[in-house]
Structure 1
Amino acid sequence: MRTTLAAATAAVALALTGCAGAGAVGGGDGERIVVAIVSNPQMQDAISLQDEFRAAHPGVDVQFVSLPENEARAKITASVATGGGEFDVVMISNYETPMWAENGWIENLQPYIERTDGYDAEDFVPSVREALSSDGDMYSVPFYGESSFLAYRTDLFEQAGLEMPAKPTWDEVQDLAAELDAPEEDFSGICLRGLAGWGEVMAPMTAAMNTFGGGWFDEDWNATVDSPESRKGIEAYIETLRSSGQPGAATSGFGDCLTRFAQGQSAMWYDATSMVSAVEDPSSSTVAGKVGYVPAPVAETESAGWLYSWSLAIPSTSEHKDAAWDFVSWMTDKEYIKLVGEEIGWERVPPGSRLSTYEIPEYAKVSEAYADETLDAMNGATQESAMAKPVPYPGLQFVGIPEFQDLGTRVGQQMSAAIAGQITVDEAIAQSQRYAETVSETYRNEEGQ
C-alpha cells in the first residue's frame, strides 16, 4: 500500500496550530492523554460523561480536541501520517483503518482486546468488525456504526395523502420532495448534504452514482466520474437538492441537516442511520415519534446504502498506550451503552456498533421504528448489492485508496459549487473527471495497463 499523503501534507500546518476546540477533563496529576474526536452529538455525550470515566480511572486525565468533521479529518490525518504525536486516541473510520494499519501508523488493538475481561469484540456488528480489521486483528474499535436510509415525516405524508414506497427510487423521492416543498414557509421537501468534503456531500452523492450504475473507477482503473451512469446519479442528486432542498444547501453538512430535520423544517432526509440518536430524542427534537424510515433511494441496484463506522484508534506514536486503551475500551464497551441510556436517554445510545445493544429492553422499545431498518441497511451494504459493476477498490461511499482524501475533497468542492450555482453541473463533472484521471493513471501504470 502506497503512503500517498496529498491530503495529509496539505493539512500539516492546521494540525500544528494548536488544539482549537480542546477542553481538559480532569486536571489532576494523573497521566494525561489527548483524544481527538468529531463533534457529532454522540461524541459530545461521551465528553459529558467523563466523570464516570474518571471515577473508574482516577489516574488518567483526558484532554479532548473536538472539531467539525472536515477539520477533524484534516487535523487527525496530518498528525498521524507525519508522526506528529499530538494525540493518544484518534477518531477515524473504516476508510482509514486498513490503510493506516498496513502503514504501521496505528496500534494493533487485538492484544488489548484479548486481555480486557468482558470486552467481547465478538459482540460487534460483524460487518463493522471486519471493516475495522487487518489480517483478522482489529486496529480500531467502533463507537458507532452506520449505513444510510431515508427518514420522512409520517404525519406530513398522512396529511398530504402521500404514501412512502417501501423501497423508494430516486424518481419517486424527487416527486415526493416536490409535493411537500414549501420554500415560502422555510420548509424544504428534502434535506441533503451539499457541504464540500469527501465525507460530507460525496458520501451520499457517491451512493447515488453507484445505484445509477456508475462509480469512480471501472475494473481497469479508468476514471468513470463522467460516464453516463455516474452523470445520472450526480444530476439526480443535485437536481433534487436544487428543486426541493433546503436553502443554503451548499454549506449544509450532516450536522446542519440534522438540526433542520429535527426542528421540523424538512419533510425528508436521506443520510446516515446514526441520525436516529438525535432525531428520536424528545428533549431536543420536535419530530421525535413522527418519523418513518425506509431504505436509501435506488435506481439500477438492489440497494444503495453504505457502511461506515466512527471508531477509536491509538496512534503508534502515543507514549501513553495503556492509558489510551483504558479510555478507548471504556467508550466502546457494553457498559458505556447502558450508561448513555440510563444517564442521558435511550434514544441517545450510539447505534450500530454492538449486537447486544438491540437486545436491551429499554433500547428495543425506543428503537422500534428504526432498529431493524438500521441493521438491515448495515447488513445489506455490500458492493454486490449496491454497485452495478465490479470495481478494483474497497468501499461504497468512498474509494479505499490513500489518494481519495484529496481526490474526494477536490471533487466535493466542484459538486458543492454546482449545487450553489457557481458553476454548471457539466463543468463540475468535467473537472472532477480530470482529477480522477490523474489518480487512475498511477494505478493503471502500476498494473502495466
Structure 2
Amino acid sequence: MRTPSRRRPRALAAAAAGTLLAPLLTGCWTGAGGGGSGGDSLNVLMVNNPQMMELRKLTAAHFTRRTGIEVNFTVLPENDVRDKISQDFANQAGQYDVATLSNYEIPIYARNGWLHEVGSYAREDTAYDEKDILPSMRQSLTGDDGKLYGQPFYGESSFLMYRKDVFKKAGLTMPERPTWQQVAKLAARVDGEEPGMKGICLRGLPGWGELMAPLTTVVNTFGGTWFDKDWKARLDSPEFEKATRFYVDLVREHGQSGAAQSGYAECLNNLTQGKTAMWYDATAAAGSLESAASPVRGRIGYAPAPVVRTENSGWLYTWAWGMQKASRNPDKAWKFISWASGKEYEELVGEKTGWANVPAGKRASTYANPAYRKAAAAFQDVTRAAVEGARPRDPGVQPRPAPGIQFVGIPEFTDLGTKVSQEISAAIAGRQSVDAALRTSQRLAEKISEEYEGR
C-alpha cells in the first residue's frame, strides 16, 4: 500500500498550505508583534483549550522567573489557530517559534521542511526523560525520516461522559461497553430529566477537527470509510450514509440547542453547567469536569466510545508542541517545550489545580503516580484503555489507504474535511437533507480520488 509520503514535495506543500488564502484572524495577543521573537522572548501560538489556558497562567511565575525567557502567547479557537499556524509555518515567516500542532499536522509539516526536529534535544535533555513518553505518542509525532518533530502536551482518545446522578434518578444504567443504538435510546430517556437538560451533546460546528472528528469515528464503527484501499471515495456508501443520518438525527432530536454552532468548548460548557446529560468527545475533557472548580465534579461517569461493528471506536490524538524551522530561538524554544511537556509541569498543575486536571495521556509515569491515580480514579483507567486500544492504521472494517481514525492522514483532508463538515452541519441546522449533504460531499471526495487512484 502506497502512502501519501510518496507525493512530490512541491505538490504536498501546496496542498498542506491550502488554507493560506483564509483571512488572518486576531486573537488574544499578549506580547511582541509582527517580526518574530528575539532576545529573551518566545512567541507561542496555541489553541484555546482549558489545559493551554492554565499553562498560560502558570508560565510567567514558574518558567519565565526561572529561565528569564518571556513567553508571548497568541491564543485562538481550534479552527482559527489551525489557519494561522499553517500560514506562518508554510511561509516560514518565523513570527511564532512554537505552536500547538496535532499528530495529523506534524508528519506532514515535517515532510515539507517546516519543522525543526526536536528528537536530538529530547535525547540530550536527561531531565526530560523522553523514554517516559508513551510509544503511541512518540510514533504519531515521528516523521518519515524517523526523527521526532513534536512533543506531546497531552494525549487523548474519545469516550462517552454522562451524569451518573441523572441516570440514577431516571433508573437507568450505562452499559459497560455501550453501542450507539443504546446511547440513542438513553438520550431519549434522559432528555428533559432536569429543567433545560438535553439528552446528549455532539459537535456540530463545521471544521475537520470539530464536527468531523467525532462523526468519523461513528462512520468507522458503522462500517463506513472516506476512501477504500484503492482510494475510491465512499461517502455515498450505505454505511457512511447510515452513520451520518444517525448522528444528525440524534443531535437534532435529543441534542443541544444551536448544535450546528457547537464544538468542543460549547459541549464542555453544556455538560459542566447541567444543560446536557451525556457527551461523546475527547478524554481530555475529564480533567476539566473533575477539577476542583467544576460544579459537576464527582457526578460524571465515563464509558468507552460507543461501537456498532468494531471492537473499539475511540480516536487517537495529541496536542503537541512543534518548533518552526525558521525560529531564531530553537534552544530557548526547547526549554519551553521541555518544561511544558515535562514531569515538573505535571507536578505543578497537580499542586495548583488538582491532579485530575493534569495534562495526561502522554507519560507512563503519570499513570503510576499515586496522587494522579487517586484524583483521576473516575476516568484514568478508561482513558488509558482508550488510548492504548486506538488503532489508527486499522480503525474500521476494511483496509485503509492512509492512517488516521478521526481524520485521513493526507494534506488535502483539511480542506476536504472542512467542506464536508459544512455540508453536514447544514443538515444538522435543518437547512438541507443528509442526502443532499452527502451528494455534494461525495463529489468533493471524488476529486481527491482522481489524484490518488493508482498510486
- TM-score normalised by L of structure 2: 0.93
Does residue 1:422 correspond to 2:402, yes or no? no
Deviation at 1:129, TM superposition (A): 1.2
Counterparts of residues 167-206 of structure 1 (less than 5 Å): 167-182=177-192, 185-206=195-216
Query: Unpaired segments of 5 or more residues in structure 1?
Result: none
Kept in 2: contact 1:200–1:254 (CA 8 A): yes
- TM-score normalised by L of structure 1: 0.95
Kept in 2: contact 1:37–1:64 (CA 8 A): yes
Deviation at 1:340, TM superposition (A): 0.6
Query: Unpaired segments of 5 or more residues in structure 2?
Result: none
Measured against aligned partners, the alpha-carbon deviations of 1:74-118 in whole angstroms (never above 9, x if no partner) come to 100111112222110011000011111111110111111111121
Counterparts of residues 250-261 of structure 1 (less than 5 Å): 250-261=260-271
- Supply the distance in 2 between the matched residues of 1:46 and 1:160 (Cα, whole angstroms): 39
SS in 2 for 1:185: coil
- Supply the distance in 2 between the matched residues of 1:303 and 1:13 (Cα, whole angstroms): 36
Kept in 2: contact 1:12–1:75 (CA 8 A): no
Does residue 1:346 correspond to 2:330, yes or no? no
Counterpart of 1:207 in structure 2 is 217
Counterpart of 1:52 in structure 2 is 62
Measured against aligned partners, the alpha-carbon deviations of 1:186-205 in whole angstroms (never above 9, x if no partner) come to 21100010000000000000
Q: For residues 21 and 11 of structure 1, do their structure 2 counterparts lie closer, same or farther at Cα, with a shift above 3 Å needed?
A: farther
Matched letter for residue 235 of structure 1: R
- Supply the distance in 2 between the matched residues of 1:56 and 1:128 (Cα, whole angstroms): 28
Deviation at 1:20, TM superposition (A): 2.7
Does residue 1:233 correspond to 2:233, yes or no? no
- Supply the distance in 1 between the matched residues of 2:91 and 2:396 (Cα, whole angstroms): 35
Counterpart of 2:104 in structure 1 is 95
Matched letter for residue 62 of structure 1: V
Measured against aligned partners, the alpha-carbon deviations of 1:164-222 in whole angstroms (never above 9, x if no partner) come to 11111111000000001129932110001000000000000000010011110000000
Kept in 2: contact 1:4–1:403 (CA 8 A): no
Does residue 1:434 correspond to 2:438, yes or no? no
Measured against aligned partners, the alpha-carbon deviations of 1:336-370 in whole angstroms (never above 9, x if no partner) come to 00011112221211120111112222211111111
Does residue 1:21 correspond to 2:28, yes or no? yes
Kept in 2: contact 1:393–1:401 (CA 8 A): yes
Q: CA RMSD in A?
A: 1.7
- Supply the distance in 2 between the matched residues of 1:113 and 1:184 (Cα, whole angstroms): 50
Deviation at 1:292, TM superposition (A): 0.9
Deviating more after overlay: 211-220 vs 339-348: 339-348
Q: 2:252 aligns with which of 225, 242, 256?
A: 242
- Supply the distance in 1 between the matched residues of 2:179 and 2:415 (Cα, whole angstroms): 31
Matched letter for residue 179 of structure 1: R
- Supply the distance in 2 between the matched residues of 1:13 and 1:127 (Cα, whole angstroms): 33
Deviation at 1:239, TM superposition (A): 1.0
- Supply the distance in 2 between the matched residues of 1:376 and 1:184 (Cα, whole angstroms): 32
Counterpart of 2:383 in structure 1 is 374
Deviating more after overlay: 185-194 vs 134-143: 134-143
Deviation at 1:306, TM superposition (A): 0.5
Counterpart of 1:82 in structure 2 is 91
Deviating more after overlay: 131-140 vs 363-372: 131-140
SS in 1 for 2:321: strand
Matched letter for residue 24 of structure 1: G
Measured against aligned partners, the alpha-carbon deviations of 1:300-357 in whole angstroms (never above 9, x if no partner) come to 1111100000000101111111111111111001110001111222121112011111
Deviation at 1:10, TM superposition (A): 3.5
Measured against aligned partners, the alpha-carbon deviations of 1:8-33 in whole angstroms (never above 9, x if no partner) come to 34335634x6x5311139xx995221
Matched letter for residue 57 of structure 2: S
Counterpart of 2:399 in structure 1 is 390
SS in 1 for 2:383: helix
Kept in 2: contact 1:30–1:61 (CA 8 A): no
Matched letter for residue 236 of structure 1: F
Counterpart of 2:159 in structure 1 is 149
Counterparts of residues 27-38 of structure 1 (less than 5 Å): 30-38=39-47
Does residue 1:139 correspond to 2:163, yes or no? no
- Supply the distance in 2 between the matched residues of 1:83 and 1:4 (Cα, whole angstroms): 12
Deviation at 1:230, TM superposition (A): 0.9
Counterparts of residues 264-275 of structure 1 (less than 5 Å): 264-275=274-285
Q: For residues 65 and 304 of structure 1, do their structure 2 counterparts lie closer, same or farther at Cα, with a shift above 3 Å needed?
A: same
Kept in 1: contact 2:142–2:148 (CA 8 A): yes
Kept in 1: contact 2:315–2:392 (CA 8 A): no
Counterparts of residues 273-352 of structure 1 (less than 5 Å): 273-283=283-293, 285-352=294-361
Measured against aligned partners, the alpha-carbon deviations of 1:121-160 in whole angstroms (never above 9, x if no partner) come to 1111211111111243211000000000001111111111
- Supply the distance in 2 between the matched residues of 1:14 and 1:360 (Cα, whole angstroms): 45
Deviation at 1:286, TM superposition (A): 1.5
**Count of aligned residue pairs for this structure pair:** 440
Matched letter for residue 422 of structure 1: R
